[in-house]
Amino acid sequence: MLSNKTIVLGITGSIAAYKGADLASKLTQTGARVEVIMTESAMKFITPLTFRSLTGRPVVTSMWDLASEFSVQHVALAEVADVVVVAPATANTIAKLAGGIADDMLSCTVLATKAPVIVAPAMNVNMFENSITQDNLAKLIARGFTIVGPEYGRLASGKMGRGRFVELEKILGTISQVLGRGGDLAGKRIVVTAGGTREAIDPVRFIGNRSSGKMGYAMAEAARDRGAKVTLVTAPTALPEPVGIEVVYITSAVQMKEAVTKATVQCDALIMAAAVADYQPKSAASGKIKKAVAGPELSLELVRTPDVLSEVKGNFLRVGFAAETSENLIEHARKDELERKQLDLVAANDISAPDSGFDVDTNRVTLIDKQGNMQELPLMTKREVADKILDRVVELLGKKSPREMTVEELYDNCKERLKALGVRLRGSNIGGFYGYYKKKYTLRVTQMEDALGNQYCTIDVRKADDSWMGEKKITDEQTLGKVINNYIKPRIVELEKQH
């Protein structure tokens, strides 16, 4: 997702500046081109040489450095950036950005860029909780900035409080999510399941399996990075909670069915990557079963668990996994999974292979659709497998009749699509929100309802002089796409030509 992207990384004068070096390294390892800007205060904590060594790129430290390729045209970085990340961001820098002050290379770049801006605050708890800082952050959020953190923890002062620099995984996840806006799954709602369910024998013991949840989590993150709104229904795992994804935690198969039934209302696709137990004890003991009481043998009466994928109903795409050790893997996947459960796509994999079984980072699957088409994939990372599956999901969704969308979904999709075009959202009006594009156009999106109770949205475009340019009615995802492509984009292109 980040490969070949240009990420401008702003480092400011915080004790957490050294963590910015780790962030720069991790971004570079993804294949991104990382352009680092350091403020004068940042260089008191860490040297530019560190970042140059990690990124292989010169570091910008001043607008007046004639040796820098970006110094003369001081907005050059702003124009090439796919995303600007200020991490760590001090209270001073946040105040500058909120006030539109442009007195150094970093603040100039943020003010001039049309790329999305992510800010990761790090400061003393009292500075963070100060009403001035909170007001400044609120201004940035209203302008479309994404704020990540800070977290609660031990600070440099030795005190405990909120002000600690957020974990790098959350910043990396946020960058991927922001860059995914406008992707080929933008406006889609995807439900993914992950992990292995646990069926209680007593309060201590359970029937489970060896699923690590890695495939399901990779699916959820890949869908998020392509613009989808993702709900992850997960059984217990040792994996960190993914960023930008609604996570629903469950334990048993019954709980998973309940959570999936609720989550799939108005969803576009359900991807069942979880390893759901086939059987559960008919009744679980209320207390721990004692060996002295149970004796040398313990017999359990087992009953079938719900078959989540076949029992949950709805007008959405269904993708399943067939994890088997059988030589008849493909035949089983086709008959027992694809046909019996009426799936649109199944991913079959042999879990007995050491490089594609449970608790490893790679997988080797064969994709089979209900027309009988097969695609055998080589050994890949689970994230790469996830993207291959989503390629097919995008293809299948394109052939599927669109479902009806709620007005709330249309409203949210309008927001995301306009953000992706560079519109800065500034505030809300009655029943909607408004935003600006280069202070030349004002765009208002409003939720409406006609006399018959039919709900829809409208986009109202006005020029800077408040002269009305027209209003467009949006009733579904298709009309939203037409309005964006045929009405909004041409005006933005026209404005770009004027500049």
* Burial (CB count <10 Å: 0-12, 13-18, 19+), residue 429: exposed
344 close to 317: Cβ distance less than 8 angstroms: yes
CA–CA distance, 272 with 276 (Å, rounded to integer): 9
465 close to 471: Cβ distance less than 8 angstroms: no
Residues 226-276: pLDDT tens digits? 989 999 999 999 999 999 899 999 999 999 998 998 888 888 999 999 988
| Over residues 61-82, mean pLDDT | 71
SS3 168: helix
Catalytic annotation present for 209: yes
Q: Phi/psi at 313 (nearest 5 deg)?
A: -105, 155
The percentage of residues in the chain with a pLDDT greater than 70, rounded to a whole number, is 86
SS3 77: helix
Residues 3-58: pLDDT tens digits? 888 999 999 999 999 999 999 999 999 889 999 999 999 999 999 999 999 999 98
CB atoms within 10 A of CB 410: 22
CB atoms within 10 A of CB 26: 17
- Domain positions in the chain are 6-179, 189-399, 407-498
Q: Is the pLDDT of residue 440 over 60?
A: yes
Residues 118-159: pLDDT tens digits? 999 999 988 998 999 999 999 888 888 999 989 888 887 778
DSSP 8-state class, residue 74? T
CATH of domain 6-179: 3.40.50.1950
DSSP 8-state class, residue 107? H
Mean pLDDT of the chain: 83
CA distances from 332 to 47, 317, 327, 387, 475 (A): 59, 21, 9, 24, 42
Q: Is the pLDDT of residue 499 over 80?
A: no
Structure tokens at 494: 């026209």
Question: Does pTM top 0.85 for this prediction?
Answer: no
Which of 268-272, 294-298, 333-337 has the weakest average pLDDT? 333-337
47 Cβ contact list (under 8 Å, min separation 6): none
Structure tokens at 211: 């699923």
Structure tokens at 315: 């007008």
**Cis bond upstream, residue 242 (ω within 30):** no
Structure tokens at 304: 């079938």
CA–CA distance, 223 with 390 (Å, rounded to integer): 7
Structure tokens at 106: 């970093």
374 close to 389: Cβ distance less than 8 angstroms: no
Q: Is the pLDDT of residue 349 over 60?
A: yes
Per the residue annotation, which of 209, 315, 429, 485 is the catalytic one?
A: 209
Structure tokens at 237: 């795992």
Q: What is the 3-state secondary structure (H, E, C) of 100-148?
A: CCCCCHHHHHHHHCCCCEEEEECCCHHHHHCHHHHHHHHHHHHCCCEEC
pLDDT of residue 426: 66
- Tokens 């969803």, residue located: 267
pLDDT of residue 423: 73
pLDDT of residue 172: 92
CATH class of the region 189-399: alpha beta
Same fold, 6-179 and 189-399: yes
**Cis bond upstream, residue 150 (ω within 30):** yes
Furthest-apart CA pair in the chain: how many Å?
Answer: 86
pLDDT of residue 403: 53
